[in-house]
Structure 1
Amino acid sequence: MSLSRLSTLLGGLLLSRRGRSLAARHAGKIALATLAWRLWKSRRAPIQGAPPGGGAARAPHRRQRWSGRRR
């Protein structure tokens, strides 16, 4: 079983003294980045049970958000 690149990077950081101090200072940012990466990866995964092509199951196109400018 291979380790992911992110866990390998964090493991390498934690082996050195400067890496441990950097990880301690930025622990919250590292945790947030890890969660964001996992969410992004899970959103990119194909939906289970969806028909191939997605022609009939596509959601209607959302209108664009109002920018605040008047035309």
Structure 2
Amino acid sequence: MKVRVDEDKCCGFAACLSVAPKVFDIDSDQIAVVLVDGELPEDLHACAREAAEACPTDAILIEE
């Protein structure tokens, strides 16, 4: 699984950070960034999916 953030959709609400702090952070422009480069470890899949569901702007994209 790979995770991306659509920067054009991200509003910096930080719901992803509160749900999955090992996967996401907020940069200086108040945009979510993915902390894991490449394939996400399997133990983080569930929290990444939960973060995608929690995102109010659907800015988190998951590629299976």
Do they fold alike, i.e. is TM over 0.5? no
- TM-score normalized by the length of structure 2: 0.26
Q: TM (normalized to structure 1)?
A: 0.24
**Larger Cα-atom Rg:** 1
Structure with bigger RCO (C-alpha 8 Å, 6+ apart): 2
